[in-house]
Amino acid sequence: MKTELVSYAVRLGMESEAEVWLRVLQQRRAECVATLDREQMRYESIFKSQHGGRMYLSWFSIQGEGGSPIDSSPFEIDRLHLDYWDRCIDRAVSPIAFEHVVSFAPADVESAVRVDSAG
């Protein structure tokens, strides 16, 4: 099981486009959820913040082992997501990766998250 929190800077001038991207993901939530199994993604949340005059998008995820990468996805929403990513994320700014230290969850939630791919 891999738990991640990573923040990415949005390219300056692309903040409005990033807002459109986030709305697309919200409006097409069911399609996004349908892609999770192939990635072994147990949970994914996206956050938005401002730091130093820049917009950042942060992904929190819990992912099982052996998932397929998004760039091999047959889903149209994943292709659209990657297109927005390429246009909006500033690759010249290093992502901010947070080190996972500890998680706390009731046993039923922990069990549900740890379901294997056969599950």
Phi, psi values for residue 23, rounded to 5°: -65, -40
Q: Are 56 and 7 in contact (CB under 8 A)?
A: yes
Environment class of residue 81 by beta-carbon count within 10 Å: exposed (0-12), middle (13-18) or buried (19+)? buried
Asked whether the whole model's pTM tops 0.85, one would answer: yes
More confident residue, 46 or 110: 46
Q: What is the pLDDT of residues 65-113, one digit of tens each?
A: 889 989 899 999 999 999 999 999 999 999 999 999 998 889 888 888 7
From the list 73, 59, 74, 75, the residue with the least C-alpha distance to 22 is 59
User: Which domains does the chain possess?
Assistant: 2-113 (3.30.70.100)
